[in-house]
Amino acid sequence: MKTEKAYKLLARQEKISNRAAKELIDRGVVYSGGKKVVVARGELPVSAKFKVLEIKKSKKLFEDENLIAIEKPSFISSEEIAKSYGYPLLHRLDKETSGILLLVKNEEFRKKAIKLFKDKKVKKEYIAWVEGIVAEKAVINAPIETIKTKNSIFSKISKKRGKEAVTFIEPLMIEGKKTKLKIEIETGRTHQIRVHLKSIGHPIVGDEKYGGKEYKRIMLHAHKIELDSYSFESKEPPEFTRLH
């Protein structure tokens, strides 16, 4: 059976450059035969057909002299958003996480906001679909250690080397063997929600890195954020209403 590199086949099908095809695969939006294509240079049959998920555009919700509130779509990095708007990030969302992202416009407000985060005076609410049935509210209080390498970041529970991390969860809906949760975090460790949910046996749907089953995206959405006198909310994406 004749094969060729996935990105070359995709470029031919979509009539785009090899570089653009590689970027789409790296974003996690390319599927073939019902499975996500994860290695751009991986070999596939020349007869392979691809489905490319739509990448939505970011939307500016608010701007004043201190900050810009952006509605971030899935599959775009926080750094890309910052570059496109020309202002630095106040915080980050993972690439596949959608929702409210804040950019800061002056140093005075940046310092004030950082202190609010440090003093746990910022309210952050997320929505997620997780594997399994979560029947009751719970508090996950487990220290997190983050390991950074040249090409990746990974976090884990570590009582010895971890930093304090507190997550509150509340079930909103149960569908089959999956649960929709409202989540609030008191701290903001790297991958905190993903690691904490994995630690209680309920990884996020689509979060294969932390034990979830493959899905079209990681089902985590930054729903609300409140800091200082500001309050912003991002509606749930259509795919969060019910799982299909």
Largest CA distance in the chain: 63
> Would you write out the chain's pLDDT as a tens digit for each of its 244 residues?
789 999 999 999 999 999 999 999 999 899 998 888 989 999 999 999 999 988 899 999 999 999 999 999 999 999 999 999 999 999 999 999 999 999 999 999 999 999 999 999 999 999 999 999 999 999 999 999 999 887 789 999 999 999 999 999 999 999 999 999 999 998 889 999 999 999 999 999 999 999 999 898 999 999 999 999 999 999 999 999 877 6
Q: What's domain 3-52's superfamily in CATH?
A: RNA-binding S4 domain (3.10.290.10)
The predicted pLDDT at position 242 comes to 78
Q: How far apart are CA 226 and CA 69, in angstroms?
A: 11
Extract the tokens encoding 181.
Answer: 């949760």
Extract the tokens encoding 170.
Answer: 């509340």
pLDDT per residue over 124-161, tens digit each? 999 999 999 999 999 999 999 999 887 789 999 999 99
Distance of CA 114 to the CA centre of its chain: 21
59-240: same fold as 3-52?
no
What length does the chain have? Answer: 244
The predicted pLDDT at position 1 comes to 79
Task: Please say whether the beta carbons of 188 and 164 come within 8 A.
Answer: no
The predicted pLDDT at position 244 comes to 64
Reduce the DSSP state of residue 136 to 3 states and report it.
Answer: coil
Reduce the DSSP state of residue 103 to 3 states and report it.
Answer: strand
Residues acting as catalytic residues: 94
Contacts of 199 (CB under 8 A, 6+ apart): 140, 142, 157
CATH label, 59-240, candidates 3.30.2350.10, 3.40.640.10, 3.20.20.10, 3.40.50.11310: 3.30.2350.10
Residue spans of the domains in the chain: they are: 3-52, 59-240
The predicted pLDDT at position 152 comes to 83
123: nearest Cα among 148, 149, 91: 91
